[in-house]
Amino acid sequence: MPRPEPDQRLKLELDRCVKCGLCLPECPTYRLRTNENESPRGRIALIEGLVGGRLSADAPLMRHLDSCLACRRCERVCPSKVRYGHLIDTVRARTPHQVPFPLRWLDRPGVMRLGTRLARLLPLGLSRPFGALQRMHRLARALPIRGAAPAPGDYPPLGEARRGRIALFVGCAGSAQQPGTLGAALTLLRRVGFTVSIVAEPGCCGALAQHAGDTRRAAQLAERNRRALDGGFDAIVSVASGCGIHLDDYAPALPAPHYDINRFLIEQGRLSADDFRPSNRSVALHTPCSVQNVYRGEKWARELLALIPQLRVEALGEAGQCCGAAGDYMLRHPHTAQQLRKPLLAQFVALGSESLLTSNIGCAMHLADGLRENPLPVHVLHPVELLAEQLK
């Protein structure tokens, strides 16, 4: 199998790793398997071997690289500030990397919406012979569809204040799987004085293609989004944290500043406890890896939920504990994803909370799928959905 071409910038990034090992106890796959090759340090050593020509991109080596969740927890603790996520994406783009056929269509919103509708109509047994397709089928049925995605167009503020014009980034999975989240974000943004635009053209942010090594497709999606969002907006707001961190990767090319919805409401929402009705519910708050390790915004959702009087919020999982969703990882590596999810589900059941809140669509689908067997009905929501429900 061909080796990736040596690249000086890649070598310089690899050289930043001092092999200290602080990343090992933070890595979900290393903690699961205690195998050096399943750790950031071990994978960096494998990449160094590839770049230096000492190793070939054979199947065992590529399995170790492909099993990385790209949760980027290691980046949070790395004293040398190695851009590990960039390293993994780069080597995947330079080595043979097969993506299962159904997953190649996930970044097409029309296909995503049609697939979601069909999945809710057809029995699971029809997809059983096709591994990745069956897992997609299960996930599409995991979350109940609440409401309809907002139609493209401009939505004026709900009050007298006129504070600017925002583009709400819809994405591909969000419009198909969590239309209620988009509707809730729209309501909250209008409530705090913004005109909100739902742009017809943007689709996938490009994260799935980028992490699969398809940099050409990722660049095409980024350029499409840049053109579609070039409408004189004061800000671009996204609701799925996994999409948001990828939008941030090409934020300098976007025509307006990009914000995660939770961050935007904290920094510019001007919301207070007087805006919300009390709730005596108990909810479990899951913090996605994208929020914890990249945004470093683990306080945003908690601060917003604290505005709802009497609401009880419990943290789900240890700090930085990955649920195993990781984009399409839960489809490509279902066994590992389920192993990582299991302790979170056990904790949720022990807490006895009525709702599970998370800010990323992939995490929501993966966790909801794992809660199918729970004897009591469980609501899996984005924090903004609960906030919108409790607005006065």
Say whether both 247 and 355 belong to one domain.
no
Closest CA to 289 of 244, 323, 243: 323
Q: What is the pLDDT of residues 186-232, one digit of tens each?
A: 999 999 999 999 987 667 898 988 888 888 888 999 999 999 999 89
Mean pLDDT across 311-334: 90
**Banded pLDDT at 100 (limits 50, 70, 90):** low
Say whether both 247 and 172 belong to one domain.
yes
Give the C-alpha separation, 176 to 85, whole Å: 27
Whole-prediction pTM value? 0.89
Say whether both 373 and 312 belong to one domain.
yes
| Of the listed ranges 25-39, 116-130, 334-348, the one predicted with least confidence | 116-130
- What total number of domains does the chain contain? 4
Say whether both 279 and 263 belong to one domain.
no
Position 126 scores a pLDDT of 47
Which helix (H) or strand (E) covers residue 312, if one does? strand 312-316
Residues 6 or more apart from 34 whose CB is under 8 A from it?
none
Residue 1 resides in a domain? no
Query: With contact defined as beta carbons under 8 Å apart, do 361 and 173 qualify?
Result: yes
Query: With contact defined as beta carbons under 8 Å apart, do 236 and 169 qualify?
Result: yes
Residue 337 resides in a domain? yes
Percentage of the chain beyond pLDDT 70 is 83
Q: How many CB atoms lie within 10 A of CB 274?
A: 8
Position 1 scores a pLDDT of 47
| AA letter at 347 | Q
What CATH number does residue 296 fall under? Answer: 3.40.50
Residue 336 resides in a domain? yes
* Chain mean pLDDT for the chain: 87
Q: Domain residues for 127?
A: 101-140
Say whether both 84 and 107 belong to one domain.
no
On the CB side of 281, CA atoms within 13 Å amount to 20
Residues paired with residue 167 on neighbouring β-strands, in sequence order = 197, 236
Pick the residue with more confidence: 107 or 270?
270
Give the C-alpha separation, 187 to 392, whole Å: 12
Q: What is the pLDDT of residues 128-152, one digit of tens each?
A: 544 555 666 666 666 666 777 788 9
Q: How many CB atoms lie within 10 A of CB 390?
A: 18
Residue 377 resides in a domain? yes
CA angle 284, 346, 28 (to 5 degrees): 90
Say whether both 135 and 170 belong to one domain.
no
Say whether both 83 and 132 belong to one domain.
no
